[in-house]
Structure 1
Amino acid sequence: MDQGDAFYSTQPLVSVIIPAFNASTYIERTLRSAMRQTYTALEIIVVNDGSTDDTAQLVEQMAITDSRIRLVSTPNRGVAAARNTGIDASSGRFVAFLDADDLWHSTKIEKQVNALNRLSPQWAAVYVLHYIIDEDDEIVGLGGSKIARGYIYARHLNFKYIGNGSALLVRRDVALEIGGFDSSYAAEGIGGCEDIDFELRLAARYCMEVVPERLVGYRKYPGNMSSNYTRMGQGLLEVIKRSIAANPQLPRHAARSAIALTQKYAFRQYRKAKNLPLSIATAWAILQNPRFMLSLVWQAGLLVMKQRHALKPGTARDTQQLKQSKFDEKIILSPVEGPEETLPSRRHLKLLTEVDAKLSSMCESDERGHFPSGEITTRPHDV
């Protein structure tokens, strides 16, 4: 199909939303990964968020060669506001978010649309897994292998399955219904985790599907948003606290677990940032939870065993395949294997799965209920 005919396709239109602030280094590569999608019924909306470099000019040049690309320029207001601008400007049945320095595998959108089209409207979104890439598009690591599907709010609150802002495709009407992305985090100086806030508000009300393949190249490098360790730690803690406050039906043990796990993440971030006051404060908060401390000791023991056997995250086979691999249209996707399970982690997952089943039943009886009985399921390796 000619790209110019994409809008006349019988396929549902997907709006690709790319927030871009001073993104000239990577924006052309990012746009090419969207343009090369095997699913061609796309509109590609780049929201130029007050860039002071030549981001806008580069996008305009690429739009000459592909009529699906559209540039929207605004004053600098942050990534959440930029994504909301893109949603408002979009006209697709689905919206898919792509950060201006990340990459997509060519089959990502096709696989996500096919997965969601098979399901009822109660299933509002579908996510994929990711590789970690560097400035040169080289694959340098594996994103998480944890997956879950159906009503996953309590599990996602704890395990944060999606992992980055470029992995999600969602029904546009649902994105609008839940209020889009929350720009107040950026206003408070703790922006960076707005995607998780959005995902949790989505997961609290709807079912979510997963395509268990690594179809995103999530770029990490010095200077990008995720490298501001203090802000990421503070932002995620605030996201989890707000989500728990907004969902008082969540059992206390699930809420405490989510806070404890997020404190552990924040502590690691503060240590990377060499922020001694926040590191001490967070360590003290962790020490107040004896049960969680026991789990940390257990995990530390497992980590020592892995290091003795020179194991990296993911399988040894995957680690070998990562060497000198580029995330591009020629990439051969490595198999996704479930994470290693321990008895405590299996028990924890079982409890949270039961919480999700109960919460979904509550939603069924609510007059706004979104969840069909019999469709709340869990896949193996949902740890």
Structure 2
Amino acid sequence: MGDLAVSIVMPAYNAASFISQTVESVLNQSFVDFELLIIDDGSTDNTLEIAYQYANSDRRIRVFSQVNRGVSATRNHGIQLAKGKFIAFLDADDLWLPAKLTAHMEHFAANPNLAVSFARVEFMSWEGQPTGQISTSRLLNLKPEDFLYENPTTTMSNPIAKAEVFAQVGGFAEDMSYSEDLEWLFRVMCHQRKDQDNGKVVWQIEGIDRVLIYYRASPSGLSASLSRMESGWDLLIDKARLQAPALVNRHYSLARAVHLRYLARRAFRLGLPSPVGLDFINRAIASDWRIFLREPHRTFLTLLAIYWRHLGSLLKAVY
């Protein structure tokens, strides 16, 4: 690694519609000691052409092209190319607020045991309009099991990590396209690094209580995508068991219930046929009844909404 502060890895696949806005959000950062690595993952539109236009106008931008390998392999490629002491990731359709890098650099400076810093996320529509919906995930005192239940960071466009963390725990699992961020974060939380003065110290992952990113919600509403998300979570569990089998087994049933409830809520918000959400919420309850004790308001509202919609569809079919 060189003396450069931050390497920003931007995987890009058919992102011509949004990549200019995303790159501009990087160039507008108040913190300027960075390099931006744009890695085109076999795009078939003019993503690569746009990326080169920016690289020709700013020496901090480097562009690379590869055959399509998927987002995890693309991020790992970026990690190998990175020269910075810190590594950040930004999907080519998300946006950073101008204070993003400055806030995280200050966060790292204040906490020497911090491995990964993240912040609040505001969701925006596919068209780029802010929704006012802000992530409510836990920010402090995170434990490994928290990454089995839900995703505190929301998106990989959010966290920034010390480069040495990747050197110690490795990169992203390239056989994963869903929950690959959670698998990596769980691995970081389970890892112990050696500290010459204090023996072994567990890396910390901690959030900043302010919005620093706009996350573009995908319009995809196919039930097949929710099934792939469930399969990705199952693979997360399989890999997490290799790191901490007793911990995973202790939390598995309730964590699975929470994930299935999330998929049920997503199916409802996307307006999918009622049996899709019904299947997810029924299996959530069957996995662990304690889901009614964990965020009971969210569980009961999800249950009520899905069953009400299903009842409505049944009555409509009869009449």
C-alpha offsets along residues 53-96 of structure 1, whole Å, 9 cap, x if unaligned?
11111011111221101001111000000000000011100000
Q: CA deviation at 1:281?
A: 7.1
Aligned to 1:233: 230
Measure, in 2, the Cα distance between the counterparts of 1:179 and 1:44: 21
In structure 2, the CA distance between the partners of 1:225 and 1:98, relative to structure 1 (3 Å rule), is: farther
What residue in structure 1 maps to residue 290 of structure 2?
Answer: 291
* Worse-matched range after superposition: 131-140 or 230-239: 230-239
CA contact (8 A) 1:38 1:106 kept: yes
SS at the partner of 1:43?
Answer: strand
Identity of aligned residues (%): 27
Give a deviation string over 1:6-61, Cα, whole Å, max 9, x none. xx9x8x51000000001100001000001111110000000100111111110111
When residues 229 and 275 of structure 1 are mapped into structure 2, their CA distance, relative to the original with a 3 A threshold, is farther
Whole-angstrom CA distance in 1 between matches of 2:11 and 2:204: 26
Q: Which has the higher strand share?
A: 2
How many Å apart are 1:140 and its aligned residue? 1.3
Map of 2:216 onto structure 1: 219
Instruction: Supply the distance in 2 between the matched residues of 1:71 and 1:267 (Cα, whole angstroms).
Output: 39
**Is residue 204 from structure 1 mapped to residue 201 from structure 2 by the alignment?**
no
Matches within 5 A, 1:83-232: 83-120=75-112, 122-185=113-176, 191-205=177-191, 206-223=203-220, 228-232=225-229
- 2:58 counterpart of 1:66: yes
Unaligned runs of 5+ residues in structure 2 are 192-202, 305-319
Residue deviations 1:160-189 (CA, integer Å, cap 9, x gap): 21111110000112123222111112xxxx
- In structure 2, the partner of 1:82 is 74
Q: Name the CA distance, whole Å, in 2 between partners of 1:224 and 1:281.
A: 15
Taking the aligned partners of 2:150 and 2:244, their CA distance within structure 1 comes to 17
- TM-score (norm: length of structure 1): 0.68
Residue of structure 1 equivalent to 2:313: none
Contact residue 147 and residue 182 of structure 2 kept, 8 A = no
Contact between 1:49 and 1:75, CA under 8 Å: does it hold in 2? yes
Query: CA offsets, 1:191-235, max 9 Å, x none?
Result: 232222222212222211211111110001324999933322332
Letter in 2 for 1:290: W
Partner Cα distance (2:237, 2:133) in 1: 24
Task: Output the TM-score relative to the length of structure 2.
Answer: 0.80
CA contact (8 A) 1:233 1:267 kept: no
Q: Secondary structure at the match of 1:101?
A: coil
Between the aligned partners of 1:276 and 1:26, the Cα distance in structure 2 is 34
After TM superposition, the structure 1 stretch with the greater mean CA deviation from structure 2, 240-249 or 111-120, is: 240-249
Query: What is the CA–CA distance in structure 2 between the aligned matches of 1:73 and 1:304, rounded to whole Å?
Result: 46
| Secondary structure of 1:163 counterpart | coil
* Greater mean deviation of Cα atoms: 108-117 or 270-279: 270-279
Change in Cα spacing, 1:215 to 1:281, as seen in structure 2 (3 Å) is closer
In structure 2, the CA distance between the partners of 1:102 and 1:256, relative to structure 1 (3 Å rule), is: same
Q: Is residue 265 of structure 1 aligned with residue 262 of structure 2?
A: yes
Question: What is the count of residue pairs matched by the alignment?
Answer: 291
In the other structure, the counterpart of 1:313 is none
Q: Rate the CA distance shift 1:225–1:168 in 2: closer, same or farther, 3 A.
A: farther
Superposed, 1:330-341 pairs within 5 Å as none
Q: In the TM superposition, what are the counterparts of 1:4-23 in structure 2 within 5 Å?
A: 12-23=4-15
Contact 1:192 1:225 in 2 (8 A): no
Q: Residues 315-338 of structure 1: CA distance to partner in whole angstroms, max 9, x if unpaired? A: xxxxxxxxxxxxxxxxxxxxxxxx
Contact kept in structure 2, 1:14 and 1:92, CA below 8 Å: yes
1:192–1:226: 8 Å Cα contact kept in structure 2?
A: no
Alpha-carbon contact 1:143-1:163 (below 8 Å) kept: no
In structure 2, how many angstroms separate the alpha carbons of the residues matched to 1:222 and 1:149?
Answer: 31
Letter in 2 for 1:280: D
Distance 1:249 1:282 in 2: 26
**Structure 1 unaligned blocks of 5 or more:** 1-7, 186-190, 306-383
* Separation of aligned partners in 2, 1:226 and 1:108: 34
Contact 2:260 2:283 in 1 (8 A): no
Looking at structure 2, the residues matched to 227 and 34 of structure 1 have their Cα atoms a distance apart, in angstroms, of: 33
Matches of 1:259 and 1:158 in 2, distance apart? 7
Aligned CA RMSD, in angstroms, stands at 3.1
Q: Secondary structure at the match of 2:72?
A: helix
Superposed displacement of residue 269, structure 1: 4.5
Secondary structure in structure 1 of the residue aligned to 2:116: strand
- Point out the more displaced range, 164-173 or 144-153: 144-153
Say if 1:115 and 1:209, in contact at 8 Å, map to a contact too: no
Instruction: Write out the 4+ residue segments of structure 1 that deviate beyond 6 Å after TM superposition.
Output: 224-227, 302-305
Inter-CA distance 277–52: structure 2 relative to 1 (3 Å threshold) = same
Taking structure 1 as reference, are residues 115 and 73 closer, same or farther at Cα in structure 2, changes over 3 Å only? same
